[in-house]
A = this chain, B = another copy of it.
Amino acid sequence: MSRVLVVDDDVQLLRALRITLRAAGHEVVTAPDGTTALREAAAAHPDVVVLDLGLPDLDGTEVLAGLRPWFTGPVLVLSARADSRDKVDALDAGADDYVTKPFDMDELLARLRAVVRRRPDTPGEPVVVTEHFTVDLAARQVTVDGVPVRLTPTEWALLSELVRASGRLVGQRQLLQSVWGPAYETETNYLRVYLAQLRRKLEPDPAHPRYLHTEPGMGYRFTP
């Protein structure tokens, strides 16, 4: 699911966290102290850091300060100290959440989920660019030679389905099902009509498609 760097000097807890996080589908990297934590963070490029404040070498806030200038992902702080002053300091130092030991494992996982959830920071590239046109999935806009082109809802549904599978072949049954619904699996007519419309709007030479290819008997393929 995502790569987690766990920083803690308690070997017992580290073991437990590693097992639990693995079971939850995460990739786990561990560090027993602050210096290795900083090194591992730079080397392993984790998506999220779970950081204990009580470390043998460095103070936890120092680790946080060393992390924050370049690490943009969420940091979840663990600490035995329940004083709200400590919480405020850690949160203002850049922590995204603060959990006091002892903690419930399910709660930690939930907080981890919450903190990771709002981080689709690099959700791949939501815009596909070719030599002749661009498709912006997020903005729902297509431009050909820089000028916006209007697509009808069906045209858009079909195109986005193909673009999302960029390079891969999409079976006609799958296309029909996802655009028109399960009851239209056999209406291959629709595909021919709408593929033609898309080609007319997007392809430089609609008669000889360069991007929207037909695989006879199987389906269609968008090649960037």
B104–A84 CB distance below 8 A: yes
CA distance A104 to B215 in the complex (A): 49
Is A199 engaged at the interface, CB distance under 8 Å to the other chain?
no
Q: Is the CB of A107 within 8 A of B92?
A: no
Copies in the complex: 2
Q: Does A113 contact B (CB under 8 A)?
A: yes
- Taking a contact as CB atoms closer than 8 A, the residue among B97, B140, B218 that contacts A218 in the complex is B140
**Smallest CB–CB gap between A126 and chain B, Å?**
10
Q: Does A111 count as interface, using CB distance less than 8 angstroms?
A: yes
Distance of A169 Cα from B118 Cα, bound (Å) = 22
Q: Does the CB pair B217–A153 fall under 8 Å?
A: yes
Task: Verify A111–B91 contact, CB threshold 8 A.
Answer: yes
Verify B150–A215 contact, CB threshold 8 A: yes
* Number of interface residues, chain A, beta carbon within 8 A: 37
A201-224 residues at the B interface, CB under 8 angstroms = 215-218, 221
Q: Are B74 and A87 in contact (CB under 8 A)?
A: no
A153 (CB) vs chain B CBs: closest residue: B217
Instruction: Enumerate chain A interface residues (CB-CB to B < 8 A).
Output: 74, 84-85, 87-88, 91-92, 95-98, 104, 106-107, 109-111, 113-114, 118-119, 138-141, 150, 152-153, 156, 167-169, 215-218, 221
Given contacts A74-B118, A153-B216, 10 further A-B contacts (CB under 8 A): A87-B104, A87-B107, A87-B110, A88-B110, A91-B113, A118-B118, A118-B119, A140-B215, A141-B167, A141-B221
